[in-house]
Each structure stands twice: as structure tokens, then as C-alpha cells.
Amino acid sequence: TRPENCPPDVEQLGRATWTFLHTTAAYYPENPSPNQRSNMLSLLQSLPVLYPCTHCATHLGDNMKSHPPDVSSRATLSRWLCERHNEVNEKLGKKKFDCGVKSLDERWKDGPADGSCD
Ligand code: FAD
């Protein structure tokens, strides 16, 4: 196994980035202000330009052309992001995630009802 202090590989970078993006979406307002919407749009649109895995960035950029981000609410953003992540899962032969608000909130915001993450 690689030592902990190595630069991130594509998998580690991916997990860290999805964690940041899904968590940020989970806490995004139900009714975002124009300023919040425009900053979220900039954050998402910067990924195909700046994400430091070139083939990942290209794939996401192509995907975003046919599926532009919907930053109008927490619900629409969380679902949009889940669907983009699922396209990567599909490409890599990983299982698809349930993009319903309940599953997303349990995974990224509230934790399971049994309190095992409290
Ligand atoms: P990850 O896919 O990193 O997921 C982390 C956790 O998120 C999972 O354990 C699960 O609990 C949860 N999760 C899974 N799916 C969803 C979903 N749809 N919605 C919400 N939560 C979910 N790797 C490549 O090899 N090629 C690529 O082209 C590529 N493109 C990428 C593009 C982007 C924008 C990002 C951020 C990453 C990309 N990656 C790519 C990395 C890849 O997506 C994974 O992060 C990496 O393979 C590690 O996978 P993992 O199995 O640990 O879980």
C-alpha cells in the first residue's frame, strides 16, 4: 500500500472531490440568492477547466454540455450532481447511487436513522 503522505492518485482525488461537492450541495440553500447561484455555477463550471485529472475533466465537460447544472435549489443541485457522479460510476463499472433526496441526505448530511454515525 502507498504511504499516506503521497500525492493523491485519481481515486483519492475523486473521493475527496465528491465528498466536497456532495456535502456542499447537501447544505446549499433551498432558496439560494442570485449571488449564491452564480458562485455555485462558477464552482461547477470551473471543474472541466481546472480539475487535475485531464481525462476526468474532459469527460465531465462533455457530460455537462448535454446536462447543464441546475443551481436553482438544494434539491435540483443535489440530484444533478448525483446524476453526473452516476455517469462516472457507470463508465467505471461501479454501482449506481439512488439519487432520491432521502438517500442523498442520509449519505451526505443526516446519517442513517439508527444513529450509527452520530
Ligand atoms: P467514489 O465514486 O469516489 O464515491 C465516494 C462515495 O460517494 C461512495 O462511497 C458513495 O457512498 C457515494 N456515492 C457514490 N455514487 C454517488 C452518487 N451518484 N451520488 C452521491 N453519492 C454517491 N475516475 C476515473 O477513473 N475516470 C474518470 O473519468 C473520472 N472522472 C471523475 C470526474 C469527477 C468530477 C470526479 C470528482 C471524479 C472522477 N473520477 C474518475 C474518480 C471516480 O469518480 C472515483 O472518485 C474513484 O474511482 C474512487 O471511487 P470510490 O469507489 O472510492 O467512490
CATH of domain 32-108: 1.20.120.310
* Domain coordinates in residue numbering, the chain: 32-108
Give tens-digit pLDDT for 8-36: 999 999 999 999 999 999 999 999 999 99
Instruction: Show the cell assigned to 88.
Output: 462516472
- pTM for the structure as a whole: 0.98
At position 28, the amino acid (one-letter code) is: Y
Q: Which residue has the least CA distance to atom 28 on ligand 1? A: 56
* CA of residue 14 to ligand 1 center, whole Å: 5
- Please give the distance, rounded to the nearest whole angstrom, from the Cα atom of residue 37 to the centre of ligand 1: 24
What does the chain come to in residues? 118
Write down the pLDDT at residue 115. Answer: 95
pLDDT at position 105, please?
98
What's the whole-number mean pLDDT along residues 43-53? Answer: 98
95 within ligand 1 shell (Cβ under 6 A): no
How many angstroms from the chain centroid is the CA of residue 90? 15
- Quote the ligand 1 centre to 12 CA distance (angstroms): 9
Q: Whose CA is nearest to atom 13 of ligand 1?
A: 97
Counting beta carbons within 10 angstroms of the beta carbon of residue 84, is it exposed (0 to 12), middle (13 to 18) or buried (19 or more)? buried
Alpha carbon of 35 to ligand 1 centroid (Å): 28
Q: Is the pLDDT of residue 1 over 90?
A: no
From the list 12, 10, 67, the residue with the least C-alpha distance to 44 is: 67
